[in-house]
Structure 1
């Protein structure tokens, strides 16, 4: 889980042990933390299927050795450039499934749900801006894992069972994810030889193969055949966006996270701004929970009611983080479909990447092994409704890769999957380290709670208070993936490294 006092040069934490080791392998072969993070992102797309994919997208937060921080936004975008209005809306009959997760998750799948994937262009942009190695070199571990195989982890096996109807949507998808009439189970060996060939070809020819070459033409033709909107023009014109992070001061340091048009980082920042008005380490347990849970409820209510689509969120964030709004919220306090990885090195780079493919569209492009996202089919990502975005617009997201920079705590890169539990999982991990003085591993392991609306959910052993004030109270007797899966690394002020992979999911940590 973690190591203290031992001089090391690199640490990684990722959604599977295979991905963490892929990152360490690339670092040992001459790469830096950025090269390693791209290798882990590709490897986790192979070994944690349906959580991320080259058919999806995400966000990367990068801190350079000089201390500058930037966001590389390679999230998926709305397709349909050049198509007539009649092409949108799936003819009024989108394919909806109810996933057997929690109380049931409604999701639109199939061709009309697929957005333009950003992962490959994003990886290429990260390497161009900060890496030392080539795309071919960084994809090599993922190619090997896809070709030679790996053992399916517990988290992915659980999601396979939840998404079994989606994974049976087409014969091509069944061929990749079913065995003997059922989905693959935990511990069984999986191989994706066609995906290995695809990754190898992308490594040799670059991202242009995916976006402007033969592979892109295959993707567009198949999605259009299945009733979707992705045109060759959509792929050819896709570009990642490089932006400044959303930065808030906290205690003696700064916290950098994903800003608009994403809503997740701003929600985290709002929670931090609220709790910053209190000395959390000195509060009794009930008061601590009242403050932190109250910040969760208020910020998530704003997340639900105030955020829109696209660039309009920048104005919303400015108002919600303003001192007047934060002060008013402080007064009120007392009245699976994502993956994350983090890397840090001795040179000073720290990288946090959160990636997703929604719940998966149920489509695998024939002959390529590429599972496609259903980002357009997720209601929480599209508050304006199904196909309400204009071609080229990015949906709203909760993904919140985050970096903490502090003279006292050092540099921490972290993030989590988990929809609205993303910012609350990250919040509690930060508070555990910065305010409560926990080592990184303990900060990730400590039982969590989540407050949203009239719900208070918590893991056995977590701090609790005011349960009568909530309409619904849920207790999880064991650590649960419901509360996210924080994968974090830390470079201490003394230059040592810690890595913590969340046992709530099947994560792994590696050092070099």
Structure 2
């Protein structure tokens, strides 16, 4: 029987020869000799994809297009993202082949008090941490968009934000998914007059054909267009945000907003089967987990295994990576993480040695790390422009419509990212993830995220990939990377069936049809507990075939509002 001390000792024994971190030593692969000459964008809403192409048509690059896509999603997909939330983005600049990670994750306000989020029973008070102004971190998206425009774009911010401003003013017709999200959060939205005025016209759930116009949000975007980050974090918008928060029991101050800073960080890099994967570093947990899983799987040839054993080894790799995710990861500006260990090939060798080829490892036999359904309340888009510049960006307000609280006079629905902290170490958050003290709340600290925007560079093909989905983001992106390495197209990657294991709860979530009857029986016989779930995810992928110099773009067929487009 596998026991915790031997598991740690075996993994650690492979670290004795480890020097510096493996990821830091890797060089970026050679890019295609020239840009593709055309562009591709895949996003969760056709209006956002078209906004990106509109800005490209005005002389912008992929980074300007990303601003247009993100800001338009902030108008038309507010259940999943918005300027009251934050994002993580990978940029690839073709001129010097540099990869840049933009951290525009939200931060805890200075007055944060953990006791507020803990109920009398000692467990997290989910109402406080997911609804209302106390659930909201200081937004990062406006600063992030302004940063990208100033440092990497070609156009003024006012040009890149113009499509979003126009749509907010003129209005658009929300789809069934948007209205369904309103219905899901109807009780919470009805608590706050400014929220109800926008999303519950006449106090009722809107019907299909409804036109949503948002003049206050348009004015807020116009202030950002005119003043950059200061147009949000200072002046009229900042006053309105602070006043609205505090009037409803929140704790934001003007100093919290003024103190917000975008962070540029070095991406993580890992080699797998001849491909270079560039992915998100902390405060994303996703990149570390993906790298750890790929390092474990690199010791196997999955193509020579039957479906059951290939899935078994992948599930066991997921289980071990999520255990480390829960134990070690947090905001790199606040906690020291053993990234050299977690990203090491030698550490992966040790983990691989603990995997039985024919038997599931119960999670309670692994060292203990200090659930509800994974959600889709995030969004992702992918961009490649004619010169070969690339953007992979994942944006969020956390749960549907975030905190459900709109700050009066701004049109901005605030996030509920405070729930992504380990409010009570060892207790699950809204996505079933359990965190340790590394992810505990502190003033100014960024909460851990599963967002995993990624690039995959090969000798002949490149992919830009990411997805929403709470904790399933990590496994969705992992499975997308494996599919790309296996030669699948963008549409095949987004459409493939998915499975997910996150250490705790100890089960494998499966989409109907992902495994055939024989594979399901084999996995069950190995000791895996499989649970069928309705389809999940909203992956948006762009690929570049360097041999033919052609682009492909695909949006997840599970969500018909998305659009992958090549032009």
Which of 388, 392, 413 is 1:371 aligned to?
Answer: 413
Which of 84, 91, 98 is 1:62 aligned to?
Answer: 91
* Residues 277 and 457 in structure 2, CA contact (< 8 A), matched pair in contact too: yes
Secondary structure of the residue aligned to 2:220 is: helix
Q: In the TM superposition, what is the alpha-carbon distance from 1:12 to its structure 2 partner?
A: 0.4
Distance 1:68 1:308, change over 3 A: closer
* Residues 106 and 138 in structure 2, CA contact (< 8 A), matched pair in contact too: yes
Distance 1:88 1:213, change over 3 A: farther
Q: In the TM superposition, what is the alpha-carbon distance from 1:61 to its structure 2 partner?
A: 0.3
Which of 421, 424, 431 is 2:475 aligned to?
Answer: 424
Correspondence for 2:539: 486
Mapped pair 1:510 → 2:554: no
Distance 1:28 1:203, change over 3 A: same
- Cα displacement string for residues 445-469 of structure 1 (whole angstroms, at most 9, x for unaligned residues): 1111112332112222213441345
Query: What does 1:22-421 correspond to in 2, within 5 Å?
Result: 22-65=51-94, 66-80=96-110, 83=111, 89-90=115-116, 96=125, 107-185=129-207, 188-311=210-333, 315-334=337-356, 335=359, 336-359=376-399, 360-378=402-420, 380=429, 383=435, 388-409=440-461, 411-421=462-472
Correspondence for 2:508: 456
Which of 470, 479, 492 is 1:442 aligned to?
Answer: 492
* Residues 414 and 486 in structure 1, CA contact (< 8 A), matched pair in contact too: yes
Runs of 4 or more consecutive aligned structure 1 residues displaced over 6 Å after TM superposition: 91-95
Q: In the TM superposition, what is the alpha-carbon distance from 1:503 to its structure 2 partner?
A: 2.0
* Residues 378 and 468 in structure 2, CA contact (< 8 A), matched pair in contact too: yes
Inter-partner Cα distance in structure 2 for 1:384 and 1:231: 28
Q: In the TM superposition, what is the alpha-carbon distance from 1:492 to its structure 2 partner?
A: 1.7
Correspondence for 1:501: 555
TM-score by length of 2: 0.81
Distance 1:289 1:304, change over 3 A: same
- Cα displacement string for residues 397-424 of structure 1 (whole angstroms, at most 9, x for unaligned residues): 1111111111122x21111111110010
Inter-partner Cα distance in structure 1 for 2:311 and 2:156: 47
Q: In the TM superposition, what is the alpha-carbon distance from 1:365 to its structure 2 partner?
A: 1.0
Q: In the TM superposition, what is the alpha-carbon distance from 1:495 to its structure 2 partner?
A: 1.9
Q: In the TM superposition, what is the alpha-carbon distance from 1:213 to its structure 2 partner?
A: 1.4
* Residues 455 and 470 in structure 1, CA contact (< 8 A), matched pair in contact too: no
Inter-partner Cα distance in structure 1 for 2:183 and 2:438: 26
Pick which of 414-423 and 186-195 moved more: 186-195
Distance 1:392 1:498, change over 3 A: same
* Residues 43 and 381 in structure 2, CA contact (< 8 A), matched pair in contact too: yes
Q: In the TM superposition, what is the alpha-carbon distance from 1:185 to its structure 2 partner?
A: 4.7
Structure with larger Rg: 2
Q: In the TM superposition, what is the alpha-carbon distance from 1:182 to its structure 2 partner?
A: 3.1
Provide the aligned C-alpha RMSD in A.
Answer: 2.5
Q: In the TM superposition, what is the alpha-carbon distance from 1:97 to its structure 2 partner?
A: 5.3
TM-score by length of 1: 0.89
Correspondence for 2:11: none
Correspondence for 2:26: none
* Residues 344 and 351 in structure 1, CA contact (< 8 A), matched pair in contact too: yes
Distance 1:398 1:187, change over 3 A: farther
- Cα displacement string for residues 259-302 of structure 1 (whole angstroms, at most 9, x for unaligned residues): 02321111111111111222222222112111222212221222
Q: Which has the higher strand share?
A: 1
> Which runs of no fewer than 5 residues in structure 2 stay unpaired?
1-35, 360-375, 422-428
Inter-partner Cα distance in structure 1 for 2:322 and 2:487: 26
Inter-partner Cα distance in structure 1 for 2:178 and 2:287: 26
Q: In the TM superposition, what is the alpha-carbon distance from 1:317 to its structure 2 partner?
A: 2.6
* Residues 342 and 414 in structure 1, CA contact (< 8 A), matched pair in contact too: yes
Mapped pair 1:19 → 2:48: yes
- Cα displacement string for residues 21-46 of structure 1 (whole angstroms, at most 9, x for unaligned residues): 11111111211111001100001111
Distance 1:389 1:182, change over 3 A: same
* Residues 112 and 227 in structure 1, CA contact (< 8 A), matched pair in contact too: yes
Correspondence for 1:474: 531
Inter-partner Cα distance in structure 2 for 1:302 and 1:14: 31
Inter-partner Cα distance in structure 2 for 1:154 and 1:249: 41
Correspondence for 2:5: none
- Cα displacement string for residues 311-344 of structure 1 (whole angstroms, at most 9, x for unaligned residues): 4666233222223321122123324221111100
Q: In the TM superposition, what is the alpha-carbon distance from 1:437 to its structure 2 partner?
A: 1.5
* Residues 109 and 377 in structure 1, CA contact (< 8 A), matched pair in contact too: no
Inter-partner Cα distance in structure 1 for 2:91 and 2:234: 27
Pick which of 87-96 and 252-261 moved more: 87-96
- Cα displacement string for residues 181-229 of structure 1 (whole angstroms, at most 9, x for unaligned residues): 3333555332212111221222123221211212112112221222222
Secondary structure of the residue aligned to 1:457 is: strand
The number of residues matched between the two structures is 489
* Residues 331 and 438 in structure 2, CA contact (< 8 A), matched pair in contact too: no
Q: In the TM superposition, what is the alpha-carbon distance from 1:377 to its structure 2 partner?
A: 2.9
- Cα displacement string for residues 40-66 of structure 1 (whole angstroms, at most 9, x for unaligned residues): 000111111121110111111001102
Secondary structure of the residue aligned to 1:491 is: strand
